[in-house]
Amino acid sequence: MSCFKGKYAEELAKNAAYIGTPGKGILAADESTGTIGKRLSSINVENNETNRRDLRELLFCTPGALQYLSGVILFEETLYQKTAGGKPFVDVLKEGGVLPGIKVDKGTVELAGTNGETTTQGFDDLGKRCAKYYEAGARFAKWRAVLKIGPNEPSELAIHENAYGLARYASICQENGLVPIVEPEILVDGSHDINKCAAVTERVLAACYKALNDHHVMLEGTLLKPNMVTPGSDSPKVAPEVIAEYTVRALQRTVPAAVPAIVFLSGGQSEEEATLNLNAMNKLQGKKPWSLSFSFGRALQQSTLKAWGGKKENVEKAQASFLVRAKANSEATLGAYKGDAKLGEGAAESLHVKDYKY
């Protein structure tokens, strides 16, 4: 079999292509309970189920926002939650033309014998879990692998282990009707320059596609969620046009045209930076047979969180903030963002946390 074509093949290709619809992208709202707790505590809100639900309801029910989204990644708890009025979140999303997605990995663990490099857990009963999530309404999944740049990193071992982990996860997803988002995040931490990031990104992506091919994954039914190619966090910044050029070139060298869309992670960039960089990529002339869009977590929610502060009376203001960012990123996927989004508090603030752990 050249690639695995199970009973979901057509549906997978259709859903993957839909996620890459120009003008739309993904809201990554799949923070685990622990991680969302950090967000909530940053605005002095208690980490309980109601508050977690309230935050997600605020986002998903923002009037006019869903038109800018093709997918939302959820954490398991959220997949089964409802609005305060009793409507399941998956129904809210589906009615808004948005595909529900589900985070299926179980976090990273260190690889013994390496300098702090990691692999991602989550294979046990993954097939069963995916089937269950499909029944609950999910149509795509996400699994985050992490690599870092250092004097001797990423090592051959870390690259191989993470690439083949992603491929195995992708294969299991496709067997169970979920479009796998393949996410090999190369952390921005470090003092390296953009050339180094480009070289590592190209090497990692080449390994990922080799692994996916070896596992007979149907590329038309996958999405890629890579880091943008940028200088390290301790290095001087460069213009969005430069980031766009290096990123697109790295993708041209590694990502086959069969992949319908590439949805970037924001990885600690500020809301505005992430949007400007995405916009520059979509304005760039050159061969881009895949859509270039977003799958942002922090870079879509930061100013919304600040505006909300956990208070009911701030919901409208917070939703207005969210709408601004969603619209701006939608325009960025078309290369049409003018940089004039009303900057909410914190929109230009870097979201980089050194050695960030989800």
**In the complex, minimum distance from the CB of residue 206 to other proteins, in angstroms, rounded to a whole number:** 4
The nearer residue to other proteins, 53 or 160, going by C-beta atoms, is: 160
Task: Say which amino acid occupies 145.
Answer: A
**In the complex, minimum distance from the CB of residue 298 to other proteins, in angstroms, rounded to a whole number:** 23
Q: Is 152 in the site for other proteins (CB under 8 A)?
A: yes
Q: Is 284 in the site for other proteins (CB under 8 A)?
A: no
Q: What are phi and psi of 11, to 5 degrees?
A: -65, -40
Q: Is 22 in the site for other proteins (CB under 8 A)?
A: no
Residue from 156, 166, 191 nearest 108 by CA: 166
- In angstroms, rounded to a whole number, what is the distance separating the alpha carbons of residues 88 and 97? 15
Task: Say which amino acid occupies 99.
Answer: L
Please give the full DSSP string across 281-327, using - where no structure is assigned. HHH--S---SEEEEEESHHHHHHHHHHHTT-GGGHHHHHHHHHHHHH
**In the complex, minimum distance from the CB of residue 115 to other proteins, in angstroms, rounded to a whole number:** 5
Q: For residue 111, what is the DSSP state?
A: P
User: Backbone dihedral region of 44: left (phi > 0), alpha (psi from -120 to 50 degrees) or beta?
Assistant: left
Task: Say which amino acid occupies 134.
Answer: Y
- In angstroms, rounded to a whole number, what is the distance separating the alpha carbons of residues 126 and 216? 18
Q: Is 42 in the site for other proteins (CB under 8 A)?
A: no
Q: For residue 228, what is the DSSP state?
A: P
Residue 297 structure tokens: 């977590």
Site stretch for other proteins (CB under 8 A), options 55-63, 126-134, 152-160, 337-345 = 152-160
Q: What are phi and psi of 292, to 5 degrees?
A: -115, 110
**In the complex, minimum distance from the CB of residue 197 to other proteins, in angstroms, rounded to a whole number:** 11
Task: Say which amino acid occupies 286.
Answer: G
Pairing between β-strand 291-296 and β-strand 25-29 as defined by DSSP bridges: parallel
Q: Is 287 in the site for other proteins (CB under 8 A)?
A: yes
Q: Which of 225, 271, 273, 306 does the annotation list as catalytic?
A: 225
In the residue annotation, 271 being an active-site residue is answered as no
Query: What b/e readout covers 32-56, taking b as 16+ CB neighbours within 10 angstroms?
Result: beebbbebbeeeebeeeeeebbbbb
Q: Which of 31, 183, 185, 273 does the annotation list as catalytic?
A: 183
The nearer residue to other proteins, 47 or 213, going by C-beta atoms, is: 213
Which residue is it, tokens 């596992």? 215
Site stretch for other proteins (CB under 8 A), options 166-174, 239-247, 248-256, 344-352 = 248-256
The nearer residue to other proteins, 151 or 236, going by C-beta atoms, is: 151
Residue of the chain from 6, 64, 97, 256 that contacts other proteins (CB under 8 A): 256
The nearer residue to other proteins, 21 or 213, going by C-beta atoms, is: 213
In the residue annotation, 31 being an active-site residue is answered as no
Q: Per the omega criterion (within 30 degrees of 0), is the bond before 154 cis?
A: yes
3-state secondary structure of 42: helix
Q: Is 168 in the site for other proteins (CB under 8 A)?
A: no
Footprint (CB under 8 A) of other proteins, residues 204-243: 206-207, 209-210, 213-214, 219-220
The nearer residue to other proteins, 238 or 320, going by C-beta atoms, is: 238
Q: Is 352 in the site for other proteins (CB under 8 A)?
A: no
What binding mask, one character per residue, do residues 171-210 give for other proteins by CB under 8 A, x or -? ------------------------xx--x--xx--xx-xx
What binding mask, one character per residue, do residues 90-129 give for other proteins by CB under 8 A, x or -? -----------------------xxxx-------------
**In the complex, minimum distance from the CB of residue 333 to other proteins, in angstroms, rounded to a whole number:** 18
Residue numbers annotated as active site: 183, 225
- Interface residues with other proteins (CB under 8 A) are 1-3, 113-116, 148, 150-153, 155-156, 195-196, 199, 202-203, 206-207, 209-210, 213-214, 219-220, 249, 251-258, 287-289
